Amino acid sequence: MSGLDTMSTRLKYAGGNRQVDRMNEDKLRSLKKALLYSYQSATAILADGREFRCLINPDQIKNIYDNKYISIPFEDICLNEKEISADGKVKIRKTSEGLQEIGMKPGDIFTWKENGSDWLVYLRRLEETAYFRAEIRRCRYTVTIDDTDYKCYVARPSTNEIDWRHQQDKLWNDIDYTLQMYITKDEKTEEFFHRFSQIKINNKPWEVQSIDSMSSEGIIIVYLKEWYQNSIAEAKAEEDAAAEVVSVITEDEPVIEGPTAVYPYDKKTYTIKNAENGTWVIGSSKAKILQQDDTTVYIEITTGRSGNFELKYVRENEEDIILNITIQSI
Regarding whether 107 and 33 lie in a shared domain, the answer is: yes
pLDDT band of residue 240 (cuts 50, 70, 90) is low
pLDDT band of residue 246 (cuts 50, 70, 90) is very low
Instruction: Decide which of 168, 199, 229 is a domain's last residue.
Output: 229
Per-residue confidence (pLDDT) for residue 263, from 0 to 100? 87
State percent of the chain over pLDDT 70.
Answer: 75
Q: Classify residue 3: in a domain, yes or no.
A: no
Per-residue confidence (pLDDT) for residue 204, from 0 to 100? 82
Q: Classify residue 225: in a domain, yes or no.
A: yes
Q: Name which residue leads in pLDDT, 114 or 304.
A: 114
Q: Name which residue leads in pLDDT, 296 or 230.
A: 296
Per-residue confidence (pLDDT) for residue 329, from 0 to 100? 76
Regarding whether 225 and 251 lie in a shared domain, the answer is: no
Regarding whether 55 and 147 lie in a shared domain, the answer is: no
Q: Which of 6, 203, 218 is nearest to 105 (CA)?
A: 218
Report pLDDT digits (tens) over 266-306: 889 999 998 888 999 998 889 999 999 888 999 999 988 88
Using CA atoms, how far apart are residues 248 and 241, in angstroms rounded to an integer?
A: 16
Give strand pairing partners of 313. Answer: 280, 321
Report pLDDT digits (tens) over 39-77: 999 999 999 999 999 999 999 888 778 899 999 999 999
CATH number of the domain bearing residue 308: 2.60.40
Instruction: Decide which of 229, 264, 289 is a domain's last residue.
Output: 229
Q: Classify residue 88: in a domain, yes or no.
A: yes
Regarding whether 267 and 182 lie in a shared domain, the answer is: no
Per-residue confidence (pLDDT) for residue 22, from 0 to 100? 87
Q: Classify residue 1: in a domain, yes or no.
A: no
Parent domain of 54: 11-136
Per-residue confidence (pLDDT) for residue 247, from 0 to 100? 40
Q: Classify residue 4: in a domain, yes or no.
A: no
DSSP per-residue string spanning 57-81: EEEEE-SS-EEEEEEE-SEE--TT-
Q: Classify residue 79: in a domain, yes or no.
A: yes
Q: Is the pLDDT at 84 greater than 70, yes or no? A: no
Q: Name which residue leads in pLDDT, 120 or 178.
A: 120
Long-range interactions of 24-27: CB distance < 8 A, separation 24+? 24/129, 24/130, 25/130, 27/130, 27/131
| Pairing verdict, β 132-139 and 41-45 | unpaired
Q: Classify residue 6: in a domain, yes or no.
A: no
Q: CA distances (Å), 107 to each of 21, 60, 150, in order? A: 29, 20, 11
Q: Name which residue leads in pLDDT, 108 or 239.
A: 108
Regarding whether 316 and 285 lie in a shared domain, the answer is: yes
Per-residue confidence (pLDDT) for residue 97, from 0 to 100? 60
Using CA atoms, how far apart are residues 172 and 163, in angstroms rounded to an integer?
A: 9
Regarding whether 198 and 293 lie in a shared domain, the answer is: no
Phi, psi of 190 (to 5 degrees): -65, -35
Mean pLDDT is highest, among 81-85, 135-139, 272-276, for 135-139
Q: Is the pLDDT at 175 greater than 60, yes or no? A: no
The answer for residues whose C-beta is within 8 angstroms of residue 306's C-beta and 6 or more apart is 264, 326, 327, 328, 329
Query: Number of folded domains in the chain?
Result: 3
Regarding whether 266 and 315 lie in a shared domain, the answer is: yes
Q: CA distances (Å), 295 to each of 144, 290, 302, 312, in order? A: 40, 14, 23, 12
Instruction: Decide which of 96, 116, 136 is a domain's last residue.
Output: 136
The overall pTM is greater than 0.75: no
Regarding whether 323 and 305 lie in a shared domain, the answer is: yes
Regarding whether 102 and 35 lie in a shared domain, the answer is: yes
Per-residue confidence (pLDDT) for residue 19, from 0 to 100? 79
Taken as a whole, the chain contains a residue count of: 330
Q: Is the pLDDT at 152 greater than 90, yes or no? A: yes
Q: Classify residue 203: in a domain, yes or no.
A: yes
Using CA atoms, how far apart are residues 45 and 66, in angstroms rounded to an integer?
A: 19
Report pLDDT digits (tens) over 186-215: 999 999 998 888 888 877 888 888 899 888
Using CA atoms, how far apart are residues 317 and 323, in angstroms rounded to an integer?
A: 19
Mean pLDDT score across all residues of the chain: 82
State percent of the chain over pLDDT 90.
Answer: 43
Q: Please, what's the largest Cα pairwise distance for the chain? A: 110
HSE-up of residue 6 (Cα within 13 Å, Cβ side): 3
SS3 content of the chain, % helix, strand, coil (to 5): 15, 45, 40
Regarding whether 128 and 15 lie in a shared domain, the answer is: yes
Regarding whether 168 and 155 lie in a shared domain, the answer is: yes
Regarding whether 317 and 245 lie in a shared domain, the answer is: yes
Average pLDDT over residues 8-33: 77
Asked whether 297 and 326 are in contact (CB, 8 A), the reply is: no
